[in-house]
């Protein structure tokens, strides 16, 4: 349903656009402000996603809970996002960007307040879950808004900006957490974030006026339940494989994995049936576009490698090299910063030459860095680890922005929302699968019968990642040679 209340003329093309007079901004002058607001908000949210990793040992002592219980502060966040993200395709069709933003930031701010006031573990977990609901919506909203406001020839540069959020925020989260915990109570991790979130909420409510087209899309409750069971089951089962391999876990991981996979089979069949009448919760027609499918496949493999490195390197640094959590955060920080610095240049290069000249070298660099990680051992220096991680991050930077832009830019505008939701969902499932695979290999191959990380186990896990990267290089050759054009719906 197109809102028709005012006639707006693009200053660049002089074309009439019919949009809601209360929500429109001139794209040429207002798009940067709108996207900047969304990028800043997403940065704070994703930063919060990883800020808990270093704090878990402190929370175990302060809240008097076990390590397996405290881990739910991270796992619960991830599971909530896995349930909510598939619904964002519906939300972004049914509601205006401003409405979605206000809802997301309100949930995130409310969850942050609950977590900051939490007297115990249960309330803290509830706050994290509420935060996750808002976080799950923000990245698909950001990507859909970019596709709507930015012309195709400039999308690479803008997606490079988004990649800064995706790369830098997770990298500096552990470092900021270590700094806060070295001087303040753990609750300050939330009190520092809360005023930033409230300012972003107020700014968005005032400034976020975006041309939009909504429709009265129905919400299929059965699909919501199936997606919740399917994606949550997969993420939980895959995430718990590593814990089970270490001798922990109360539920065999194959049970939630099988249940999740079965639910997803039914979910997919239902979406294929519903999309005939344009009523699908998550429209799967983006997969009919070859460019989208190839780019998404590469992103899945790359995200498996990224999350595998993110989980293996801290374990190696602390268990093998004996580094403390704060030093560990500092070691992985330069790589994240390099990825963030390189991303805008990669985005602008994509606008000029397309994806293939960037993705293929990126895959080769990523593969080479993963093979270099197989050389790590007890005698390795921290500077060697920093150098390898920087090279790995540079390789990922050459891939993620072009692939994301190529995938979503190949879709017609009617599939932007669903394409963004699919990309975000599969990135999360890929992260969980990568973590499960590499931690399991590390634990099984470990020479330490107690299950602790050792040099042999770490090397085996890095070897697995390096072998997987060969597939990445091969698939990268399927990327189109020229900048992609929008394919027919």
**pLDDT score for 17:** 38
**pLDDT score for 191:** 93
**pLDDT score for 212:** 63
Average pLDDT over residues 74-78: 76
User: Residue 70: which pLDDT band, with cuts at 50, 70 and 90?
Assistant: confident
Q: Which CATH number fits domain 286-489: 1.20.1250.20, 1.10.486.10, 1.10.10.10, 3.40.50.1220?
A: 1.20.1250.20
Note the pLDDT tens digit of each residue in 235-284.
778 767 756 655 555 678 788 889 989 999 999 999 899 888 778 888 88
Q: What is the DSSP annotation of 110-164?
A: HHHHHHHH-SSHHHHHHHHHHHHHHHHHHHHHHHHHHHHHS-GGGHHHHHHHHHH
Q: Which CATH number fits domain 1-216: 1.20.1250.20, 3.40.50.620, 1.10.560.10, 3.90.50.10?
A: 1.20.1250.20
Three-class DSSP category at 2 = strand
**pLDDT score for 217:** 67
**Contact partners, residue 225, CB within 8 Å, separation at least 6:** none
User: Residue 152: which pLDDT band, with cuts at 50, 70 and 90?
Assistant: confident
User: Residue 365: which pLDDT band, with cuts at 50, 70 and 90?
Assistant: very high
Q: 188-226 burial, b if ≥16 CB within 10 A, otherwise e?
A: ebbbebbebbbebbebbeeebbbbbebeebeebeebbeb
- Kindly report the pTM of this predicted structure: 0.72
Q: Which helix (H) or strand (E) holds 9?
A: strand 6-9
Position with higher pLDDT, 250 vs 344: 344
Pick the closest to residue 27 from 116, 126, 171, 158 (CA basis).
Answer: 158
**pLDDT score for 12:** 37
Q: Rounded to an integer, what distance in angstroms lies between the CA atom of residue 78 and that of residue 252? A: 19
**pLDDT score for 22:** 38
User: Residue 113: which pLDDT band, with cuts at 50, 70 and 90?
Assistant: very high
Name the DSSP class of 477.
T
**pLDDT score for 11:** 35
Average pLDDT over residues 211-227: 78
**pLDDT score for 24:** 38
Average pLDDT, the chain: 78
Q: Rounded to an integer, what distance in angstroms lies between the CA atom of residue 80 and that of residue 475? A: 31
pLDDT of 430 strictly over 70:
yes
Three-class DSSP category at 410 = coil
pLDDT of 40 strictly over 70:
yes
Position with higher pLDDT, 371 vs 405: 371
Pairs from 376-380 (Cβ < 8 Å, separation ≥ 24): 376/316, 376/320, 376/455, 376/458, 376/459, 376/462, 377/320, 377/455, 377/459, 378/320, 378/321, 378/455, 380/321
**pLDDT score for 310:** 67
Position with higher pLDDT, 152 vs 39: 39
pLDDT of 98 strictly over 80:
yes
Report helix angle 121-149 to 27-50, nearest 10. 150
Residue 213: φ, ψ to 5° = -130, 115
User: Residue 117: which pLDDT band, with cuts at 50, 70 and 90?
Assistant: very high
* Ranges 4-13, 49-58, 123-132, 412-421: which has the least confidence: 4-13
* Contact between 396 and 112 (Cβ < 8 Å): no
Q: In the numeric block, which tokens belong to residue 367?
A: 């593969």
**pLDDT score for 104:** 92
pLDDT of 480 strictly over 80:
no
The residue extents of the domains of the chain are 1-216, 220-280, 286-489
Strand partners, 19: 6
> Angle at the Cα of 340 (from 337 to 346), degrees rounded to 5?
140
**pLDDT score for 391:** 92
Three-class DSSP category at 314 = helix
The proportion of the chain whose per-residue pLDDT surpasses 90, expressed as a percent, equals: 15
* Ranges 215-219, 290-294, 368-372, 414-418: which has the least confidence: 215-219
Average pLDDT over residues 344-355: 84
């Amino acid at each position: 349903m197109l809102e028709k209340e005012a006639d707006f003329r693009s200053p660049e093309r002089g074309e009439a656009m019919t949009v809601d007079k209360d929500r429109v901004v001139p794209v040429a002058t207002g798009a940067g402000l709108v996207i900047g607001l969304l990028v800043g908000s997403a940065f704070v949210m994703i930063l919060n996603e990883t800020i808990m990793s270093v704090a878990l040992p402190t929370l175990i002592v302060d809240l008097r809970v076990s390590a397996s219980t405290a881990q739910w502060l991270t796992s619960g966040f991830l599971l909530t996002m896995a349930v909510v993200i598939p619904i964002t395709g519906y939300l972004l069709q049914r509601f205006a960007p401003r409405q979605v933003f206000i809802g997301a930031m309100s949930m995130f701010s409310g969850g942050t307040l609950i977590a900051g006031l939490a007297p115990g573990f249960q309330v803290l977990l509830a706050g994290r879950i509420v935060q996750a609901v808002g976080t799950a919506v923000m990245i698909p909203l950001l990507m859909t808004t970019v596709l709507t406001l930015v012309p195709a020839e400039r999308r690479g540069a803008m997606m490079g900006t988004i990649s800064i959020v995706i790369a830098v925020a997770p990298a500096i989260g552990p470092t900021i957490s270590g700094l806060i915990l070295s001087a303040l109570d753990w609750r300050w991790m939330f009190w520092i974030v809360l005023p930033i979130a409230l300012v972003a909420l107020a700014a968005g409510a005032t400034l976020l006026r975006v041309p939009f087209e909504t429709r009265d899309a129905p919400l299929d409750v059965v699909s919501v339940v199936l997606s919740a069971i399917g994606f949550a089951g997969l993420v939980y089962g895959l995430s718990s494989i590593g814990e089970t391999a270490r001798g922990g876990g109360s539920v065999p991981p194959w049970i939630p994995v099988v249940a999740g996979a079965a639910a997803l089979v039914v979910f997919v069949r239902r979406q294929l049936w519903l999309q005939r009448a344009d009523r699908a919760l998550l429209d799967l027609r983006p997969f009919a576009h070859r460019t989208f499918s190839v780019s998404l496949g590469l992103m899945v493999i790359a995200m498996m490698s990224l999350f595998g490195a993110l989980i293996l390197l801290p374990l190696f640094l602390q268990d093998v090299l004996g580094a403390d959590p704060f030093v560990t955060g500092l070691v992985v920080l330069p790589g994240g910063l390099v990825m963030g610095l390189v991303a805008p240049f990669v985005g602008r290069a994509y606008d000029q030459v397309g994806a293939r000249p960037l993705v293929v070298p990126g895959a080769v660099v990523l593969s080479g860095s993963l093979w270099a990680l197989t050389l790590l051992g007890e005698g390795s220096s921290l500077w060697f680890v920093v150098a390898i991680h920087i090279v790995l991050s540079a390789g990922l930077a050459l891939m993620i922005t072009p692939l994301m832009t190529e995938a979503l830019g190949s879709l017609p505008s009617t599939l932007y929302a669903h394409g963004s939701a699919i990309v975000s969902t599969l990135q999360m499932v890929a992260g969980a699968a990568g973590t499960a695979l590499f931690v399991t290999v590390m634990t099984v191959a470990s020479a330490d019968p107690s299950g602790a990380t050792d040099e042999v186990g770490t090397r085996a896990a890095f070897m697995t990642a390096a072998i997987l990267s060969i597939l990445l290089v091969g698939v990268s050759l399927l990327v189109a040679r020229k900048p992609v054009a929008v394919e027919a719906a």
